[in-house]
Structure 1
Amino acid sequence: MSPHPRARPDPAVALLDLYDTALPHVYGYLLARVRDPALAEDLTAETFLAAVAAARAPAAAPPSVPWLIGVARHKLADHWRRAARDHLRVAAATREGPGVEDPWEVCLDALLARDTLARLAPHHQAALTLRYLDGLPVPEVAACLGRTVHATEALLVRARAAFRRTYPEGGQP
C-alpha cells in the first residue's frame, strides 16, 4: 500500500526532535519570571501545545529554541492578562502627571526586586518584566499585552510607581 500522493508529513513532528533540547530552556525562561514551579510547568505545557498548532499552520517557521521562547513569552503574557482580569479589584496605581521625568536609573538588589515584582498586580508584573527583564522596546511590549503604545507607556509609568512604592526603603525587607 503506497501513501496518498497528497499526504505530507506532519510538520509538528519536528518539535519532537527539538523537545528534549528545548524543554529546559523554555521551562527555565518561564520559571525565572513566575517563580512558581507548578505555574511554570503549566505554562511550558501550554507553550508546547501552542507550538504544535503554530507548526502546523501554513508557511510556519521551522521550530527552534528561540522560536519556542517567543511562544512562551506570548503564553506568559496571556497568563498575566488572565490574572489581571481575575484581579480587577486591584485599585489603579496613582498616576504621575505628564512630563514627569523617570529615568529609573536605580541600582536594585536583584532578589529583593524579584520579590517586589511578585507582589505587584499581574498587569504591572507583565509590563515591567517584558520591558526591563526581557528588554523589549515599548512597541513590542504593547503588542505582547494587546495594548496600544500610548496605553503601554502609561501602564509602565503606573507600574514603575507601584514598584517604587512596594520596594522596601533602603533595600531592607
Structure 2
Amino acid sequence: MQAEVVEQAQAGNVDAFRELVRDAAPRLYGIAYRILRDSTRAEDALQQALVQIWEGLPGLRDIDRFEPWTYRLVVHASYREAKRQRRWMASVRQISVEPSAPDQFGQVLDRDEVERSFRRLSPEHRAVLVLHHVIGLPIREVAEVLGIPMGTAESRLHYAARSFRAAFEADARSTVAWRAPA
C-alpha cells in the first residue's frame, strides 16, 4: 500500500504526498524533537526535511527504503538546525529556556533529571540514541539513516550511552546532595 502511494507521490501527485506526510510526520517530528529538544526548532527541521523529501522523491530509486530515507533527511535537517542554533546562541550569548513540548514517547524522558542529561549530549549522540532506543531501529539501519559506517554507529551509540549515563549519575548526585538536610 505505502509503495503505491510513494510511486504516486514520485509522479507528482500532491494528494499522495499529503498522505505520506500525514503518516510520517509524527515520527519525523519525534526524531527532530528528540535531537533538538525544542518544539519550534523541531518543527523547522521537519519543514526543511519535508521540502527535501518532496524535491528528492522523484530520484528515490528503492521505494522500500522510503522510511529510512526520510529518517536520514530529518536527522540531517536537525543537525543543520542545531548548528544554526549554536551560531545564533553564540552571537546573542543568551540561553532561552522553553517548556518542553508534550510528546508521545512516554513518561520516562519527561523526568527532569533525564531531560537535563539528554540535553547535554551532542545532536549526533542524541540522534543515534533516538533512532536506536526510541524508534527501535537496528544498529545497521541507524548507520544507514545517518550515512555513517556501521562501526561508527556502534561506537557513537556506545559513547552516547556512556556520556548519557555519566551526565545522569552526576545530576542524580547533585540532586541528592541538594535535597539532603544540612
TM-score normalised by the shorter chain: which range applies?
A: 0.5 to 0.7
**In structure 2, do the counterparts of structure 1 residues 80 and 47 end up closer, same or farther at CA, with 3 Å as the change threshold?**
closer
Structure 1 contact 43–75 (Cα < 8 Å) conserved = no
Pairwise CA distance, 1:132: 0.8
Aligned to 2:32: 30
- In structure 2, runs of 5+ residues without a counterpart are 1-8, 87-106, 177-182
Q: In 2, Cα distance between the equivalents of 1:156 and 1:134?
A: 14
**In structure 2, do the counterparts of structure 1 residues 125 and 171 end up closer, same or farther at CA, with 3 Å as the change threshold?**
farther
Pairwise CA distance, 1:155: 1.6
Partner of 2:143, secondary structure, is: helix
Alignment partner of 1:145 is 2:143: no
Q: In 1, Cα distance between the equivalents of 2:62 and 2:148?
A: 25
Larger radius of gyration: 1
Structure 1 contact 55–61 (Cα < 8 Å) conserved = no
Indicate the RMSD between aligned Cα atoms, in angstroms.
3.6
Structure 1 contact 81–145 (Cα < 8 Å) conserved = no
Q: In 2, Cα distance between the equivalents of 1:48 and 1:18?
A: 10
Structure 1 contact 43–72 (Cα < 8 Å) conserved = no
Aligned to 2:172: 169
Pairwise CA distance, 1:162: 0.7
**In structure 2, do the counterparts of structure 1 residues 53 and 123 end up closer, same or farther at CA, with 3 Å as the change threshold?**
same
> Scaled by the length of structure 1, what TM-score is found?
0.60
Aligned to 1:128: 129
Q: Percent identity?
A: 24
Q: In 2, Cα distance between the equivalents of 1:156 and 1:44?
A: 23
Pairwise CA distance, 1:166: 0.8
Aligned to 1:92: none
> Scaled by the length of structure 2, what TM-score is found?
0.58
Partner of 1:156, secondary structure, is: helix
Q: In 2, Cα distance between the equivalents of 1:124 and 1:31?
A: 14
Structure 2 contact 129–161 (Cα < 8 Å) conserved = yes
**In structure 2, do the counterparts of structure 1 residues 53 and 171 end up closer, same or farther at CA, with 3 Å as the change threshold?**
farther
Structure 1 contact 30–72 (Cα < 8 Å) conserved = no
Q: In 2, Cα distance between the equivalents of 1:151 and 1:28?
A: 23
Counting only pairs closer than 5 Å after superposition, residues 74-85 of structure 1 correspond to structure 2 as 74-79=72-77, 81-82=79-80, 83=82
Partner of 2:59, secondary structure, is: coil
**In structure 2, do the counterparts of structure 1 residues 136 and 172 end up closer, same or farther at CA, with 3 Å as the change threshold?**
farther
Q: In 1, Cα distance between the equivalents of 2:54 and 2:34?
A: 24
Q: In 1, Cα distance between the equivalents of 2:41 and 2:71?
A: 14
Partner of 1:56, secondary structure, is: helix
Counterpart of 1:11 in structure 2: which amino acid? A
Q: In 2, Cα distance between the equivalents of 1:109 and 1:19?
A: 27
Alignment partner of 1:52 is 2:54: yes
Q: In 2, Cα distance between the equivalents of 1:18 and 1:80?
A: 20
